[in-house]
Amino acid sequence: MKILIIENEVYLAQSIATKLGELGHVCEMCTSTKDAIRGNNYDVVLLSTNINGQDFNPVIETFKNSIVILMVSYISNDTVSKPLSAGAKDYILKPFMIEELVRKIDHYQDYERLKKRNLAYEKYLDYTFANAKNEISLENVELPLFISSNFQKYADAFAFEYAKQQNLPIHFVTLSDPKALTEIENLPQNSIIYLIDYQALKKTDKKNFCELIADKKAIISSTDKIDEVEHRIIEIKSESNVFDKNEILPIEDYVKYIVLNYQDKYPDTELSKKLGISRKSLWEKRKKYDIIKKK
């Protein structure tokens, strides 16, 4: 990492730079905040609050995308509270062990990395679920909740959106994993547990499973019809089912999707030909799925 050390005690700055250099970091030093703000391409900024008559806010603002750690000789409003409110990440009390400083640097570096990764995941999920919105209300949802849907994406969208609305972490577990029940048992209470592949459980295991999740904030999805359970069951359907390139639809769902979305673009003769069925079969499909063709 590239580290800037802002410290007017030159010997101390050199000592810190030497020790961090031995650990593979590249360090630069300056003795005033005015010199410090001439550049901003640093991963970490170590800012001494012992420099008299200096305004630390411009430094913190300049390095708002860096990890700013205060090096303080005493704790006060001016040396700690105000700089932290302005955007500094943490402080360390002089004298300190270099190992403690490195621990703080590593901690905040991991935090920033996870924050960026989480933002990327959220953007990806928003993109993925953009066409999988449903009309099921997220208000007054009682958990545990079972969701039956032929399209896994609709249940996924509901679970992740609900966890986001509740501002709770979400744990994803597939019940096709032999260790799933053990994992569920050890998960914390104050979080959403999203469980898929309920249809993969053996009939003899479903009773134990329902007892296990009875007092948990769990959302359970199945691509098959769910047999009677003591908890609420909702079914998510959509008249404009959207599927991924890598998702294999049941034949009936595929036919329904094509008829719904293409019957206004092709005459029945061509549509039935593309589906490989007769016009009579096409008419029967419309009747079965209660699809009305617009005139």
Dihedrals phi, psi of 156, to nearest 5 degrees: -60, -50
Quote the strand ranges of the chain, DSSP E.
2-6, 26-30, 44-48, 67-72, 90-93, 145-148, 170-174, 192-196, 218-222, 232-235
Q: Report pLDDT digits (tens) over 187-232.
A: 988 899 999 999 888 888 888 899 999 999 999 999 888 877 888 8
Edge to edge, the sheet with strand 170-174 lists 170-174, 192-196, 218-222, 145-148, 232-235
Residue with tokens 């617009």: 294
Domain ranges of the chain: 2-119, 145-235, 251-289
State CA 31 to chain mean position distance. Answer: 41
User: Looking at the domain covering 2-119, what would its CATH class be?
Assistant: alpha beta
d(CA 55, CA 35): 12
Q: Report pLDDT digits (tens) over 29-80.
A: 999 888 888 877 899 999 999 887 778 899 999 999 999 999 999 999 989 9
Quick check: do 2-119 and 145-235 share a fold?
yes
Residues 13, 18, 20: CA angle, nearest 5 degrees: 95
What mean pLDDT, rounded, does the chain reach? 88
How confident is the model at residue 240, as a pLDDT?
A: 52
pTM of the entire predicted model: 0.68
**How far separated are the first and last CA of the chain, in Å rounded?**
67
Dihedrals phi, psi of 46, to nearest 5 degrees: -100, 110
8 Å CB contact between 119 and 95: no
**Residue with the larger pLDDT of the pair 257 and 147:** 147
Q: Which CATH superfamily is domain 145-235 in?
A: P-loop containing nucleotide triphosphate hydrolases (3.40.50.300)
Confidence band for 278, pLDDT divided at 50, 70 and 90 = very high
Confidence band for 88, pLDDT divided at 50, 70 and 90 = very high
**Residue with the larger pLDDT of the pair 151 and 91:** 91
How confident is the model at residue 294, as a pLDDT?
A: 60
How confident is the model at residue 149, as a pLDDT?
A: 85
Neighbours of 170 (CB within 10 A): 16
Q: Could you say which DSSP state residue 229 is in? A: -
